[in-house]
Structure 1
Amino acid sequence: MATYVCPKDGTRAETTALTWCCPLCRGPWDLDFEPSAPLAPDSLSGRVNSLWRYTEALPLGPPTATLGEGRTPLVPLTPTVSAKLDFLMPTLSFKDRGAVMLAELARRLAPERAIADSSGNAGTAVAAYCARASLPCTVYVPEGTSPKKTEQIRAHGARLEIVPGDREATARAARAAADVPGTFYASHVFNPYFLHGTKTYVYELWEDLGGRLPDAIAVPVGNGTLLLGAALATAELHAQGLIDRRPKLVAVQAAAVSPLAAAFHAGADDLPDVPADVPADTAAPTLAEGIAITRPPRARAILAAVRESGGTFLTVTEEQIRAAQRDLAARGFYVETTGVACWAAVGDRTDREIVVPLCGAGLKTGLAP
């Protein structure tokens, strides 16, 4: 049975509780979980064509709250760079991988309400999967969130709370609401079940590439949920002897909001502490709104995962983001501005095999001005 564990102080809690963070340090949980059995590659061909085909590696299953998520195409962009088309997920972003895990967990716990906070895509995914699970849901978003994303959240029947300020202000408002008894906080940042959903991205790469992984996997990083999921998957696959080496993790941030990149290149293990009486940082404007996170709660884990893989952090400018979005559109892929960050960073400038995710559909934000 999986249990929550705090990576900072070792505090534990049952996953049947609605405790959304460590009660001592208020930090995010990890999940004490190991795959139930080795994954047998020759058993996959007859399985369901969704991320739930990797059932041995998942802490939940079989699901009720599913929309057929996962198994997105992998297509070449250059001789060395391939793209994973996660914008073809049911709610048009990779966040479906983790949201289905949160909704399935919440369905089993039967809370009075579920809440989430998001710059748009995670909130949309949680709203959709809560609708599928027949759970009442409230989504907190910052003012300035794309109207197309807020329309999608409302369409799924969720209550929308628009918070003045940036993404960090929105997170603070949601966390205050999460402390109300009977609330399930469907947090893609604090709840580790989300990471065990995003790790299926790498399990799919492994299967699509015939039982191996590329030299490097690039991921956009704000709160780091895709990167940490990738780190989980590569560790599990390696431990099971299904890969003989772990690929480098290349983390990409917008130059305008790049606290993790700065810490990584400075050799720091974490972001610097900020005194309680100092106002929280406000994110600078960037087209990559989905990764405009000034103080990600899992910063230490993100930096450690990149270093342990032998990878690095890259940053991209606003002009590079604009150019990458147009370049991908000219190749037939209409992707939102956050979702093009890795292509902007890597492009055709590498001679090693690398996979980039196209994380969200262009319909969510439109073409960058």
Structure 2
Amino acid sequence: MTPLPDCYCPVDGTRVPGGSLVWCCPVCHGPLDLDFHPTPASLKSLTGRANSLWRYAETLPLATPSVSLGEGRTPLVPLRDGVSAKLDFLMPTLSFKDRGAVLLAELALRLEPRRVVADSSGNAGTAIAAYCARARLPCTVYVPEGTSAKKLEQIGAHGARLEVVAGDREAAAAAAREAADSAGTFYASHVFNPYFLHGTKTYVHELWEDLGGRLPDVLVLPVGNGTLLLGAALAVAELHGAGLIDRRPALYAVQAAAVAPLARAWQQGAEDLVGTTAAAPTLAEGIAIPRPPRARQILRAVRESGGIFVTVTEDQIRHAQRDLASTGLFVESTGVACWAAVREGVLGERSGVVPLCGAGMKSGLAEA
């Protein structure tokens, strides 16, 4: 079996050996990155490969999957005015989080922990519960009170133990991190564990293949903890570094106006979060993250791409969900945030792709 690459802290450079259950930097307690710099395969060499995200094996830190549910290779469909949508709600657990969860489950199998813990507002917990079930790993998912009953039902159906935490999304994360410090525990964090980002980056590798070896002018991406955006930035760097694209698309990061700490930092020209942001009710609950741990990385990735931050209101989210539903695409309210931004004209004459990240049946139609 190929040795696992080391992790390192992007802030202070502290290294953590591959194969360790350590889930954060031992010095600053921040998220880790992976010391892994792959070269993607050429477009022609992908012909005939597995019809899942594992077709991009050269770019993944783990090979020979044993828990795959056929995740990835979701359809790309045109919407209007040069904008297309990638239907990531057609994943096995009905959200894009399967891209990262399968990598976490594969990693956990190799590390052989006594148990797996995760925290989530719903979709990540569902994905991790499903892939742990596939891997026959005991799993506990910490969720904040007020999580959609449908998502709770889905997590429980996969056999995971549910811990409903009084308080908001950050309270659930704090409870999971406390549990993660116990011996023999693997913290399947979609925020702190870099393997998750190397799963989400396959979103862009698929786009590149779907578009015949190119990428659109703009990738419009929802941002809470930034796992899809940071994965996209990884893939763009890999493709550009290998000479497989000649220009990098701009990253347009979308936040709900009700909880937009990154957009506020961006507007002030800051390199990190500015002040404090309180949790507030929003239809885009999946991206309502007041203090994302990878804030500096997200801001830097958008800035270096020539992108921007955009915020959308609750009314814009409601209208976008109904607009997509009228075209046959029923997407949960968090998942329509990018389309809400595009409908407001943020792209101008530029081509773009939006991800539709979660199925509408997970949370229902937003009330008027």
Give the whole-Å Cα distance in 2 for the aligned partners of 1:264 and 1:61: 37
1:327-338 correspondence runs (5 A): 327-338=323-334
Pick one of 74, 87, 90 that aligns with 1:88.
90
Q: How does 1:108-147 map to 2 (within 5 A)?
A: 108-147=110-149
Which of 331, 351, 355 matches 1:357?
355
Cα distance 1:354–1:126, how it changes in 2: closer, same or farther (>3 A)?
Answer: same
Moved over 3 A (4+): none
- 2:40·2:238 contact (CA, 8 Å) conserved in 1? no
Which among 156, 171, 175 is matched to residue 177 of structure 2? 175
8 Å CA contact retained: 2:42, 2:244: no
- Name the CA distance, whole Å, in 1 between partners of 2:135 and 2:119: 18
TM-score, normalization: structure 1? 0.97
CA contact (8 A) 2:191 2:293 kept: yes
Shift of 1:282: 3.6
Among candidates 295, 300, 319, match of residue 296 of structure 2 = 300
Q: Which amino acid aligns with 2:360?
A: G
Per the alignment, residue 241 of structure 2 pairs with 239
* Cα distance in 1 for residues equivalent to 2:341 and 2:258: 14
Query: Does 1:60 find its partner at 2:62?
Result: yes
CA contact (8 A) 1:166 1:282 kept: no
> Aligned partners of 2:122 and 2:196: how far apart in 1?
16
After superposition, residues 147-226 of structure 1 pair within 5 angstroms as 147-226=149-228
Alpha-carbon contact 2:145-2:166 (below 8 Å) kept: yes
User: 1:251, 1:91 → 2: CA distance?
Assistant: 24
Q: Deviations over 1:155-189 (max 9, x none)?
A: 00000000011101111111111100100000000
The residue matched to 1:16 in structure 2 has which SS?
coil
User: Following TM superposition, by how much is the alpha carbon of 1:15 offset from its aligned partner in structure 2, in angstroms?
Assistant: 2.1
Give the corresponding residue for 1:264.
Answer: 266
Instruction: Tell me the distance in 2 between the aligned counterparts of 1:143 and 1:304.
Output: 33
Distance between the aligned counterparts of 1:348 and 1:330, measured in 2? 18
Quick check: 2:40–2:56 contact (8 Å CA) kept in 1? no
Counterparts of 1:67-86 in structure 2, within 5 Å, are 67-86=69-88
Q: Counterparts of 1:253 and 1:177 in 2: how far apart (Å)? A: 30
Match of 1:103 in 2: 105
1:166–1:27 distance in 2 versus 1, CA, 3 Å: same
Q: How does 1:338-357 map to 2 (within 5 A)?
A: 338-347=334-343, 349=345, 350-357=348-355
- CA–CA distance in 2 between the matches of 1:183 and 1:108? 13
Tell me how far apart the structure 1 counterparts of residues 206 and 64 of structure 2 sit (CA, whole Å). Answer: 18
What is the deviation of 1:321?
0.4
In 1, Cα distance between the equivalents of 2:278 and 2:143?
Answer: 15
1:23 aligns with 2:21: no
Return the alpha-carbon distance in structure 2 between the equivalents of residues 343 and 240 of structure 1: 31
Segments of 5+ residues of structure 1 without an aligned counterpart are 275-280
Question: 1:345: how far off?
Answer: 0.4
Cα distance in structure 1, aligned partners of 2:302 and 2:314: 24
Q: Distance in 2 between matches of 1:232 and 1:104?
A: 20
Deviation string, structure 1 residues 47-99 (Cα, Å, up to 9, x no partner): 00000000001100110011000000000001311000000000000000000
Q: CA deviation at 1:18?
A: 0.2
TM-score (norm 2): 0.97
The size of the alignment, in residue pairs, is 362
Which whole-Å CA distance do the structure 1 matches of 2:203 and 2:44 have between them?
19
1:234-264 deviation per Cα after TM superposition (whole angstroms, max 9, x unaligned)? 0000000000000000000000000000001
3-state SS of 1:77 partner: strand
Residue type of the partner of 2:309? Answer: F
- In the TM superposition, what is the alpha-carbon distance from 1:112 to its structure 2 partner? 0.1
Q: Is the 8 A contact 2:216 2:249 kept in 1?
A: yes
Distance 1:206 1:54 in 2: 11
CA distance in 1, matches of 2:334, 2:88: 13
Q: Which whole-Å CA distance do the structure 2 matches of 1:288 and 1:272 have between them?
A: 22
Q: Counterparts of 1:32 and 1:346 in 2: how far apart (Å)? A: 35
